[in-house]
Homo-oligomer: A and B are copies of this chain.
Amino acid sequence: MQSVRLHEVALRDGLQNEAKVLSVAQKRSILDSLIAAGFRDIEVTSFVRPRMIPQLSDASEMVAALPQVEGVRFWALVPNQVGLERSLDAGVQNIATFMSSSETHNKKNVNRTIVESLASLEAVTRTAVAHGQRVRAYISTVFGCPYEGDVDPASTLRIARALLDAGASELSLGDTTGVANPLQVQSVLRYLEAEGIPMDVIAAHFHDTRGTALANVLAAWQCGVRVFDGAVAGVGGCPYAPGAAGNVGSEDLVNLFEQMGVETGVSLEGACHAGQVVETHLGRPLPSRYHQFWQTSQQAEDTLLEAKGA
């Protein structure tokens, strides 16, 4: 049986974009529901400067409170050397670095050129690996940049090669603003593969801003990608734009793959339940399509049960 691995980012990429700041206890209840659903790679927080992202300023506390679960890896985002040291102090075993393929986006996001970011993250990666950490590298705006438009795949390739050489074990290619299309996804992936980047180090990170995430997931899967990032309930859209969708829903990924006979190791019902926990804590309707379908089905069942009871 074929399988894929899902990387859950609701607690990090999801919550960092939300107006409401959750407590550690609330985050733990989300984490527990994610573990119960069967997620085995869960990104729990970020060691960026606490002032920058107050939603995740409790990173050390979150990490200290992590349970030990056989087979589950917890990940934390690390922006630079300072973040790395905080993550090492906290005892984090798996870190994720991030930078952009687009010069302008990278500059706006971390106030560095690509060359500067790359030098810094190569050093971070080497140090992390030397300390026994596993390193995932996010490369964002791979399929398009809100400032520059088209992004040269050669930029992605240079970053990919350098970070793999430095010791990263996984590259997560991000469609940061949801502009990718399936033919482009396949074209970029085939280019990277032809240039020597093996598909088994690639993860695909799609946002569902325009509803195209699952089509892009399918396209990436057809090219041999077997790791997919998602966030339950699709959390992570901009809270100031009510209709804007964020990360592709983990439920959507689980449903698509399980329907295709591809194992995810995650229970669809469990993922839906975890999405409901996130939505309850945030107190706003979340956009994942399967999440919405599941809620509607639940309501219909409740109505039926009430009718039977009456």
Contacts and interface: CB of A to CB of B under 8 A. Distances in A.
Interface of A: 179, 181-184, 208-212, 214-215, 217-219, 241-245, 249, 252, 255-256, 259-261, 288-290, 292-293, 295-296, 299-300
A181 B212 contact: no
B211 A243 contact: no
Nearest to A299: B241
A300 B241 CA distance: 8
A51 to B, nearest CB: 26
Contacts of A210: 252, 255, 289-290, 293
A211, A219, A292: most-surrounded residue (chain B CB, <10 A): A211
B182 A218 contact: yes
A244 B293 contact: yes
A211 to B, nearest CB: 3
Contacts of A288: 211
14 contacts: A179-B259, A181-B259, A182-B256, A184-B260, A211-B211, A211-B252, A211-B255, A211-B289, A212-B256, A218-B218, A241-B300, A243-B295, A245-B289, A289-B289
Nearest to A258: B181
A296 B212 contact: no
B290 A211 contact: yes
A218 B182 CA distance: 8
B212 A293 contact: no
B243 A296 contact: yes
A148 B256 CA distance: 21
A215 B255 CA distance: 12
Contacts of A256: 181-182, 212, 215
A209 B294 CA distance: 10
A244 B183 CA distance: 29
A214 B215 CA distance: 6
Given A211-B211, A211-B255, A243-B293, 4 more contacts: A209-B293, A212-B256, A218-B219, A241-B299
Give me the 8 closest cross-chain CB pairs, A-B, nearest first.
A211-B289, A181-B259, A243-B292, A243-B296, A214-B215, A183-B260, A215-B218, A241-B296
B259 A212 contact: yes
A37 B16 CA distance: 38
A181 B94 CA distance: 34
Nearest to A255: B210
A245 B293 contact: yes
A208 B18 CA distance: 27
Contacts of A293: 209-211, 243-245
A261 B183 contact: yes
B260 A181 contact: yes
Contacts of A252: 210-212
